[in-house]
Amino acid sequence: MEENSQAREIIVRVLKYDGRERRRWTAQVVKQDGPLIVLDAVFDEEIQHDLLGTIALGTVSKEYYWLDRWYNVFRFNERFYCNLTKPPVFDGSILTYVDLDIDVLVESDFSYKILDLEDFENSSYPTDLKEQALQALEELLSLVETRSFPFNE
């Protein structure tokens, strides 16, 4: 396990399936362990989110990415927000992932809501990609339900 004694700053890029950039931010790599990359990021602006409400400027987000998994997990304000994605690509300075619409909001009591599943199912994504993403959703929900890493942090 490689724990960085001195965190380094990287850029996180989120792409739409068609390759267009959706958003980007900077984050600190705090841990790399095989395919797992853990980042700390700070919101550089106040965000109004439909379900999460106001995310204040300066809110810290702990972000978990796996180079071999089809999801990532963000933890902030005692909640988790999970994105179904294609596995990210990390070149050491930029971590890039393709967002696949489905999100999972996990409350502090571990109840959860699956978001945008209908949009995903009605999308024109290839069948094999849809199957892979739905399999990843099952894996992710199993981690939540059993309170396995990173939901036990």
Assign residue 41 the CATH number of its domain.
Answer: 2.40.380.10
Confidence check: pLDDT of 73 > 60: yes
With b meaning 16 or more CB within 10 Å and e meaning fewer, what string describes 63-83?
bbbbeebbbbbbbbeeebbbb
Confidence band of 77 (pLDDT split at 50, 70, 90)? confident
- In the numeric block, which tokens belong to residue 65? 């990415």
The whole-model pTM stands at 0.91
Q: What is the pLDDT of residues 116-130, one digit of tens each?
A: 999 899 999 999 999
Residue 150 domain-assigned? no
Give the separation between CA 58 and CA 56, rounded to whole angstroms. Answer: 6
Residue 8 domain-assigned? yes
Give the separation between CA 19 and CA 151, rounded to whole angstroms. Answer: 30
Count: domains in the chain: 1
Range(s) of the domain holding residue 100: 2-145
Residue 151 domain-assigned? no
Residue 123 domain-assigned? yes
Residue 152 domain-assigned? no
Residue 14 domain-assigned? yes
Confidence band of 78 (pLDDT split at 50, 70, 90)? confident
Residue 101 domain-assigned? yes
Alpha-carbon distances, residue 147 vs 14, 53, 63, 67, 150 (angstroms) = 27, 25, 17, 21, 8
User: Per-residue pLDDT averaged across 13-22, rounded?
Assistant: 95
Residue 33 domain-assigned? yes
Secondary structure of residue 66 in the 3-state scheme: strand
